[in-house]
Structure 1
Amino acid sequence: MGEFWPVGDVLAYLAGSWRVERAVRDLANGAEGRFTGTTVFGPSDDGGLLHRESGTFVWQGVARPAERTLRFLPGPGAGTALVRFSDGRPFHDLDLTSGHWVADHPCSADLYRGEFTVRDEDHWESVWRVRGPAKDLVLSTAYARPT
């Protein structure tokens, strides 16, 4: 895996625009998909960042527009954040002070386990492994600052 890049202030690090490339694999049936788009972390009215992702998701050859919104609120320390869904429900904590973090999110009977890795000031990635009776997925996402 490579070296980690510690982040002193997670909200300052994430702020701005990122190019997004996500590979989605369904391990149960072998289906694959890909999302390409942009994520913008902009200021929100609660002192955190509003994460707006938009782009195109291609699943089994069919392209569709896709988007999602998350809230990144200040955590207990500068390198941390509390990630919430757009409606305010808790998603996961995030601590990038070491440049690496693993977070769990139970969803019904499935468990989402996210691994976040910061590579440098312009690149980070997340890998979500989803296991349970309803899903068996791997979602690998690379984020890069636009050049």
Structure 2
Amino acid sequence: MARKTTKDQKEHSKKADTEQLPETHQILIDDKASKLSPKQPGFIYFELGKHLETNELELRLKGNDGGGLHSKEWVKLSTILEILDEQEEDKPFKSGVFKPVFEGKSANNASFIAAVLRCSALSLIGSTGNSIFLHQRHSNYKQGREALLKLANSK
């Protein structure tokens, strides 16, 4: 049975959407990445920002086309890079390696972050050719990593 939304609920929802939360990050990249699955085409929307107090780079999944819940928390880029540093250069890995990055436990977090790391704005990983769901570090991973880390000191 469908639940009806009252006029008061709609007004409350509009008010909540327009309320400004305190700024915590300077947004450096606001972009989108193609989803990994051809069965669910569309994009994952994300932001890379510099935390205003710590100056650390953090990444946030902010939305996606179609279905698929995910956590919208800010996660440290340094944690993601540590995981990628542990991956052998030519050895494929699954999206599941990114599960520890998130406090939220949505099943889509790991694959969505993998899609973001594949996009041209970050380009830290790529597909293996054997499977669209397997990843490997890009051959220019170290240069891409350093370029991203320099963003924290610029702007």
TM-score tier by shorter-chain length is: 0.3 to 0.5
Q: Which has the larger radius of gyration?
A: 2
- The TM-score normalised by the length of structure 1 is 0.37
Higher relative contact order (CA 8 A, sep 6+): 1
